[in-house]
Amino acid sequence: MAPLQVYYSGLLFAPQSSLIRGGYFKNIPWVTMEPKVAAVWSSLIQTLDGHTSSVNSVVFSPDGKLVASASLDATVRLWDTSIGKQCGVLEGHTHFVNSAVFSPDGKLVASASNDKTVRLWDISTGKQYAVLEGHTGCVNSAVFSPDGKLVASASWDKTVRLWDTSTGKQCGVLEGHVRNVKSAVFSPDGKLVACASDTTVRLWDTSTGKQCGVLEGHARTVNSAMFSPDGKLVASASDDGTARLWDTSTGKQCGVLEGHTGEVISAVFSPDGMLVASASSDKTVRLWDASTGRQCGVLESHTGEVISAVFSPDGKLVASASFDATVRLWDASTGKKSGVLRGHTYWVNSAVFSPDGKLVASASDDNTVRLWDTSTGRQCGVLEGHTSEVNSAVFSPNGKLVASASDDKPVRLWDTTKKKTIEIIKTHVSINIMSFSNDGTHLHTSHGILQLKSPLCSGRNQEPAHTFTHFLHVTDQWIMCNMKKLLWLPVDYRPSCSAGNGTANLLAIGTVSGRLIFVSIDFTALPAAYSQPSVHVTVTTGRGFLEFVDC
């Protein structure tokens, strides 16, 4: 990107009130119709742009300086959170990457993939450190032990496998589940692994690889398993409508938490381990005494399924996320509702407290992440920019950033202090409008760039050719003039669709964010470098829009 192009784009797309626009915009006389831009600088801090398909998971490094993202494009990417730049592409998987996780010391990343492998990566070099092969089915997840010496991987082959991170060798196969293993989690001391699958939770001794407990009792699928803070108990949540407590030393069931009238989606311990909160499709959260298994509170007022519940870091509050489009705050000691966080217009998929407990971030199918003040219950930020359902949001360890993942294939970073959002360039799913590239080998669509075997499709009605001395078209990041880059398009202004007028000096650009902008160019005022002999352009019509083909 040449300095002059950066300069032109900086002036053209700077906010109306910016000093640079006010002082120097007259220096682009060849723009005769300027796009409508924001009045002030947006709160966007960075777009993590690089993946070419859906992002399945995002995770911060232990020190919060990096983010690792796992994608259906078969890569893991590393991002510097201080500047938002990609600082590594971990390539090697041959199929979807389902998850990525940092080692406790932040020196390694383990990635789990549908190619049946787990791969270990050296963060300092970005090089593959080891390929952990042995699974015969897709690997759903991988997790490091607390001391970083082991990795446990859960797979569709119905096994969990243990791996030595120093050698990459398999050191245990945990067999026994009769269906795919959804997840595996280490106990806080690293001595046990608990795995959730079929209708059971199974406990395994990491030193021997032997099963030391089958937590049987559920009558339907187990959705989650969670250790207590001291590692002595496991809480499991099931579609059979119960949560169950298990003694990790004996593997025996020590409590059946019955009361829900629908599937129990998740169960979590309070930070002190004294309470369990269970979230259910019966529209309630229930609190249980972990020592006795007795119900000590029913948190009800949601009007839709409750997807998750989480305790605040000090254990005094519970936040519940629901299909009724709200997050609700509850006093954990009394069970009374202390706040209803209204603002979302569709299902809320998750809610999470900031490390200091002062904020809650909620992720919703309304395409937004929202920030809430837990002391007042008031909304203090709407992080807009996603164009599809937001599945999850997570705070960085210092609470200054939120990372969110969405069905629109983004990774976004948000500044929680300034409420700054990250907007995104992405590939898309359905195509609404398309136009040919100048050479006819690509389609610039509302969902990205597609390569074509043939530049023309059958059934199009071609009108007589027109000849222009200049030709404008739009790629995914550029306004091009005569095949040369003229203006770089900032993220907010990248096209979902575009069209040109008959005289080819006016472009209409529809953007992912919902804007429609117009840019008109005075060709006579353009620098000489953009002039070239006549370009033959065929204007074709199809489905109510114009397409330009460079012949």
Q: pLDDT higher for 247 or 345?
A: 345
Q: What is the 3-state secondary structure (H, E, C) of 147-212?
A: CCCEEEEEECCCEEEEEECCCCCEEEEEECCCCCEEEEEECCCCCEEEEEECCEEEEEECCCCCEE
Most confident of 184-198, 314-328, 535-549: 314-328
CATH topology of domain 44-216: Methylamine Dehydrogenase; Chain H (2.130.10)
Q: What is the 3-state secondary structure (H, E, C) of 202-259?
A: EEEECCCCCEEEEECCCCCCEEEEEECCCCCEEEEEECCCCEEEEECCCCCEEEEECC
Question: From CA 200, how far away is CA 177, in angstroms rounded?
Answer: 8
Which letter does DSSP use for residue 53 in this model? S
Is residue 119's pLDDT more than 80? yes
The string of pLDDT tens digits covering residues 205-243 is 777 777 766 666 677 766 776 778 887 787 878 888 988
**Residue 214: per-residue pLDDT:** 63
Question: Residue 128 has which token pair?
Answer: 């593959």
Give the H/E segment covering residue 6. helix 3-13
- Residue owning tokens 């990457």: 97
Domain boundaries, the chain: 3-41+428-550, 44-216
Q: How confident is the model at residue 500 (pLDDT cuts 50, 70, 90)?
A: low
Spell out a b/e string for 59-77, using b for 16 or more CB atoms within 10 Å of the CB, else e.
bbbeebbbbbbbbbbbbbb
User: What φ, ψ does residue 177 adopt, rounded to 5°?
Assistant: -70, 150
pTM above 0.75, yes or no: no
Give the H/E segment covering residue 33. strand 31-33
Question: What is the overall mean pLDDT for the chain?
Answer: 77
Largest CA distance in the chain: 85
**Residue 206: per-residue pLDDT:** 77
Of the given ranges (9-18, 200-209, 422-431, 514-523), which has the lowest mean pLDDT? 422-431
Of the given ranges (47-51, 180-184, 318-322), which has the lowest mean pLDDT? 180-184
Question: From CA 100, how far away is CA 31, in angstroms rounded?
Answer: 46
Per-residue CA distances from 358 to 39, 378, 519 (Å): 31, 11, 44
Could you count the other beta carbons within 10 Å of the beta carbon of residue 103?
21
Own/partner long-range contacts of 477-480 (Cβ < 8 Å, ≥24 apart): 477/425, 479/507, 479/519, 480/438
Is residue 499's pLDDT more than 70? no
**Residue 390: per-residue pLDDT:** 81
**Residue 200: per-residue pLDDT:** 67
Cβ partners under 8 Å of residue 114, min gap 6: 95, 96, 97, 98, 138, 139
Q: How confident is the model at residue 422 (pLDDT cuts 50, 70, 90)?
A: low
Is residue 103's pLDDT more than 80? yes
User: Smallest Cα–Cα separation from 379: which of 364, 365, 398?
Assistant: 364
User: What φ, ψ does residue 429 adopt, rounded to 5°?
Assistant: -105, -65
User: What φ, ψ does residue 493 adopt, rounded to 5°?
Assistant: -110, 15
**Residue 359: per-residue pLDDT:** 92
The string of pLDDT tens digits covering residues 33-92 is 777 787 887 766 677 888 988 888 889 899 889 999 999 999 999 999 888 889 999 999
Contact 298, 279 (CB under 8 A): no
